[in-house]
Amino acid sequence: MEYVLTTDALTKEYGKTQVLKGIDLQIPSGSIFGLVGRNGAGKTTLMRVITGLQEPSSGTYTLSGVKNTDRRINGIRRRMGSLVEVPALYRNMSARNNLKIQYLNLGMTDDKGIDELLSLVGLEDAGKKAAGKFSLGMRQRLGIAVAMCGNPDILVLDEPINGLDPQGIIEMRELLMKINRERDTTILISSHILDELSRLATHYAFIENGMILEQLSSEELLSRVRKSSEIRVDDVRGMCRILDDLGLTYEIAEGDRIDIFGDVTVSRLVLAAAKENIEVISVREKDENLEGYFMNLVGSGEKKR
């Protein structure tokens, strides 16, 4: 597998506080890579380091085959676009002029691609309207257009859907999928809206307290999430005895509910309950989501689940 970005034992310290603790990451080319972690886990610091906004305290990262210690890294960083924290926009300028400035910053004299970028992010009709008068969603999309100048190999986005309304979130999701699909751009994205991230990402890394707990593909995640069935009965204790006899793993939830994990044959449960005169009120299948998996992973305190 080819990787556009890797890190090796990457650390970052502020005084005596170690914020990143030996980060090892491998981001496959062409992937949408979701960085999952709570506020303060180290997501933004990691992004600031790999985009060159800050230097690592120790360890290295490699971008498109070039290490950060190599003198060529500044040139290679032009292959990376980023939107970390607040978009750096000229708020008194139009979307088009913001892109023109970025083209000049990159040494690009031919601005023929600007119309295409404006169309890509849905700002082709923004006209001369100043960016400072844009909605939050429009500013975020303009920030992504600025980051896409020069057609980078990888796009690094820190919480790009934070603060957006539901429609803005949908538009951002569709935009990122379009960029990944049509331009084959690798995207590294962090978000605390994990349900939305699960609709986008092809790969994940879970970060907690400056350490990577786990890294896996969406297919691997799907195979690991716990499938369960929620059963409601009029006799919880009696039903638990039946589940013990059947060798099933379960947890007692609120009131009359029991969560049963693994593949469960509903008819078998209902028949077993009926033999003991236990009324089954309802049975509902459930799948653990990304947030549930992350919370279980963090709660376990283990490197691997």
Higher per-residue confidence, 210 vs 39: 210
User: What pLDDT sits at residue 262?
Assistant: 75
Average pLDDT (195-224) is 91
Burial label, 45 (beta-carbon count in 10 A; 0-12, 13-18, 19+): buried
**Which structure tokens are listed for 260?**
């049963």
- How far is 81 from 146, CA to CA, in rounded Å? 8
pLDDT per position as a tens digit, 93-151: 999 999 999 999 888 888 788 999 999 999 999 989 999 999 999 999 999 999 999 99
User: What pLDDT sits at residue 300?
Assistant: 59
> E strands of the chain, at which residues?
3-14, 17-28, 32-36, 58-63, 66-67, 80-83, 154-158, 186-190, 203-208, 211-217, 227-233, 249-252, 257-261, 280-287
- How far is 48 from 122, CA to CA, in rounded Å? 27
Q: Which of 7, 12, 5 minimizes the C-alpha distance to 77?
A: 5
Average pLDDT (252-271) is 86
Q: How many CA atoms lie within 13 A of 26 on its CB side?
A: 7
User: What pLDDT sits at residue 276?
Assistant: 94
Average pLDDT (72-92) is 90
Split at pLDDT 50, 70, 90, the class of 301 is: low
Residue 1 pLDDT > 60, yes or no? Answer: yes
Mean pLDDT of the chain: 90
Q: Which residue segments constitute the domains of the chain, with CATH numbers given?
A: 3-223 (3.40.50.300), 226-287 (3.30.70.100)
Split at pLDDT 50, 70, 90, the class of 302 is: very low
User: What pLDDT sits at residue 303?
Assistant: 43
- How far is 172 from 57, CA to CA, in rounded Å? 34
User: What pLDDT sits at residue 28?
Assistant: 97
Residue 298 pLDDT > 90, yes or no? Answer: no
In 3-state terms, what secondary structure has residue 151? Answer: coil
Helix count and strand count (H, E) for the chain: 11, 14
Residue type for position 276: E
Q: How many CA atoms lie within 13 A of 70 on its CB side?
A: 12
pLDDT per position as a tens digit, 3-49: 999 999 999 999 999 999 999 999 999 999 999 998 899 999 999 99
DSSP state of 77: G
**Which structure tokens are listed for 284?**
């509902």
Higher per-residue confidence, 262 vs 280: 280
Burial label, 263 (beta-carbon count in 10 A; 0-12, 13-18, 19+): exposed
Q: In degrees rounded to 5, what are phi and psi of residue 251?
A: -135, 140
Portion of the chain with pLDDT greater than 70, in percent: 97
Split at pLDDT 50, 70, 90, the class of 53 is: very high
